[in-house]
Amino acid sequence: MDQIKYVNIDGRDVPIEGEKNLLAVIRKAGIDIPTFCYVSELSVYGACRMCMVEIEGRGLQTSCSTPPEPGLKVKTNTEAVRQTRRVALELILANHERECTTCVKSMSCKLQDLSRKLGVEKVRFRSIQKPMPVDEGNPSIVRNPNKCILCGDCVRMCEEVQGIGAIDFAYRGHDVVVQPAFGKGLEDVECVYCGQCTRVCPTGALTPKSETEEVWRALQDPKKTVVVQIAPAVRVALGESFGYQAGELTTGQIVAALKMMGFRKVFDTCFSADLTILEEGNEFIQRLTSGLPLPMFTSCCPAWVKYIEQHHPDMIPNLSTCKSPQQMFGAVAKGVFAPELGVKKEDMVVVSIMPCTAKKFEAKRPEFSEGGIAEVDHVITTQELARMINEYGIQFRTLKPESLDMPMGFKTGAGVIFGNTGGVMEAALRYVYEKVEGKTLENPDFHEVRGEAGIREAEVTLAGKTYKLAVIHSLANARDIIAKIKSGEKKYHFIEFMSCPAGCINGAGQPVNFDPDYRRNRTRGLYEADKMLQLHKSQDNPYLKELYGTKLGEVGGDKAHHLLHTHYNARRRMKGRSMVIVDGKTTDKLEIRVCVGTSCYLKGSQDLLHHLAKHVADQGLQDQVQVKATFCFEKCDKGPTIKIGDKVIDHCDVAKATAAVDKAIAAKLKMA
């Protein structure tokens, strides 16, 4: 036996086959080492100490941070290992809010699970935790710091995978906490509400915000007509909450459950995904021929849209003006379908079942309401739907499948694959190919845009011209691609962006699943659902043809544009925070504010701030002037921006700023 290739684990030789740490080798051997802070897609942290093992000659070591060296002799279940794990777990439990029976994470909590597995029956340590307020001011995520175990999973997910850094460790010693900048709520910082922090959080410290009570009230209101839409990714994941394998289609059972609950009509978001493709594909063709900004970015993912608004407002013109499928559905349901049912818009309640927490935020954007009436009233996640089914007492596995309602329940395979990374791009290509080439696409599959890599590039030739495409998932990858586009290193015509790794099938609202293959299985389920349908191209949907023929007119026409398109604006990354650099003693001070947000910072605002502070000091005006660094005037495309008194100066430089300050001070002294 070649010892160079093996690690001895509990007396058995286990081969090393490219694993990056000892933990992976041990798990390959069929031993499930407990972890909190280890997530395979994140960097190794090694803080929770739950994965300790005993290595001959080295003593206790964390297996997540130990490379698998040939010849190591490892024991995974010695008395020292067991006691170390129990003590570590008890210390975590001592400072954890143990309201497990009412915790939304109760059935999928790692802390609860490991307490059972490791036989922890009592906690011997005194709590030094001071209760902290729960952050629930945003529409998508609830942050309960009293349930945080400081594993850092959320911090690393937000920084490493999403490239945002909206949440981090603060303070030191026993005062350390995980929180947004300056102790603010998530709604006041640059959080994009993707919710991936909730997906990796092992406890109930970060969870999707529930809207189930609002939905129950709507269902019980006799004055309301409640309709519901089911997103593509939901159908391959909900079953996991009831014992099905990831990827198994449960659409029929979902419909049956929703009708039992009292929903008037059960529709499919895939219908409006088909609708999105017609509008978005048409927009792409127009951009190719009219000189509008390229590359065109997809706009289906609300977390991605918010990211662009906050970090790259200069590229908002590249965003497709199409609403997302969720919002197109709401617009059509209330603008077209409600009158056909004889229902007033204000009396129709549209509920969305989504894999995504950011969809909750999207539904509440002011752009998606008219006259105080929202297009989509409530958004519940796949997790929330599972809880509602259990709360109602429905025996999900015994349900006989029922059919979606027409016309907004009909879809093609193009709409179904929207839930996968690359799905939007492929669906669009199925439409664009026929429109540009002027002939039928016999094989609808575009395998070149499929895959698991976070950045995928492809080329397609249409009418003799070659177009460059990209498919991106996770926002850190998006950040890198946008930087290369701005530098001129990369050139594309069309890019699909999704915030969640692997796309919507891995949205934060999906059931928690620890199977390493769950993403692949959910992805496979949607592609198989596409194959089982008779139609695979959005333009072949007969109900869409009828909708355009009777209500919307031409694809991309005035009527369709008014109902199905929108606009986006630069958005502040941080709300209500200024840092005082120079503060005068008089009460009647001249206030100078310099934006140091990302866009202005990159254009030189930090140097501008330092110059102004020095200029005020050199002129001996410290008692008359207050200089502040602030975060945003929401004019990111016009930076650097400063405000002197009531006057805002865009595209400011040192000369402009100095002259404006001197003029304002002179005017102030003259008035005095």
112-117 long-range contacts, CB within 8 A, separation 24+: 114/34, 114/36, 114/50, 114/89, 115/89, 117/34
- CA-CA-CA-CA torsion sign (407, 412, 416, 421): negative
Strand partners, 53: 61
Omega within 30 of 0 (cis) for the link into 145: no
| Separation between Cα atoms, residue 338 and residue 387, nearest integer Å | 29
Tokens representing 457 are 């590039």
The Cα 82–Cα 78 span in angstroms is: 6
Length of the chain (residues):
672
Of the residues 63, 115, 272, 320, only one is catalytic, namely: 320
Question: Residues 283, 309, 426, 496: which is the catalytic one?
Answer: 283
Token pair 């024991």 is found at: 75
Q: For tokens 């701030």, what's the residue? A: 609
Q: Is 504 among the residues known to form the active site?
A: yes
Amino acid at 465: K
Number of neighbouring beta carbons within 10 Å of residue 338: 19
Q: How far is CA 362 from CA 138, 358, 412, in A?
A: 12, 6, 25
- The residue from 504, 595, 600, 636 that is catalytic is 504
List 280, 309, 375, 384, catalytic entry:
280
Instruction: Kindly report the number of other CB atoms within 10 A of residue 581's CB atom.
Output: 16
Q: Single out the residue of 80, 34, 45 nearest to residue 59, CA to CA.
A: 80
Other Cβ atoms within 10 Å of 3 Cβ, number = 10
DSSP-derived secondary structure letter, 490: -
Sheet holding 225-230, edge to edge: 265-268, 225-230, 348-354, 378-381
Catalytic residue among 64, 300, 301, 600: 300
Take residue 474 and report the two structure tokens written for it.
């996770």
Query: Are 375 and 330 within 8 A, CB to CB?
Result: yes
206 close to 330: Cβ distance less than 8 angstroms: no
Task: Quote the DSSP letter at residue 53.
Answer: E
Distances (CA, A) of 317 to 300, 456, 567, 631: 15, 23, 9, 23
- The answer to whether the beta carbons of residues 104 and 110 sit under 8 Å apart is no
Catalytic residue among 190, 309, 362, 375: 362
Q: Is 223 a catalytic residue?
A: no
Whether residue 359 lies in the annotated active site: yes
CA–CA–CA angle 257, 262, 264 (5° rounding): 105
317 prior amide bond cis, ω within 30: no
Q: Active-site residue among 334, 359, 490, 537?
A: 359
CB 627 within 8 A of CB 580: yes
Confirm whether 600 is a catalytic residue. no
Helix (H) or strand (E) holding 662: helix 654-671
Q: Which two tokens stand for residue 290?
A: 């009219």
Residue 211 appears among annotated catalytic residues:
no
Contacting residues for 366 by C-beta, under 8 A, at least 6 apart: none
Give catalytic status of residue 362 as yes or no.
yes
Q: Which tokens is 615 given?
A: 């200029």
- Euclidean distance between CA atoms 270 and 532, whole angstroms: 15
CA-to-CA distance for 242 and 245, rounded, in angstroms?
9
Under 8 Å CB-to-CB from 493, ≥6 apart: which residues?
A: 284, 288, 294, 295, 296, 467, 468, 469
**Within 13 Å of residue 596, how many CA atoms lie on the same side as its CB?**
16
Q: Which has the closest alpha carbon to 638: 627, 624, 629, 649?
A: 649
Task: Please identify which of the residues 17, 41, 56, 367 carries the catalytic annotation.
Answer: 367
> For this structure, is 121 an active site residue?
no
Known active-site residue 20: no
Which are the catalytic amino acids? 280, 283, 300, 320, 359, 362, 367, 504
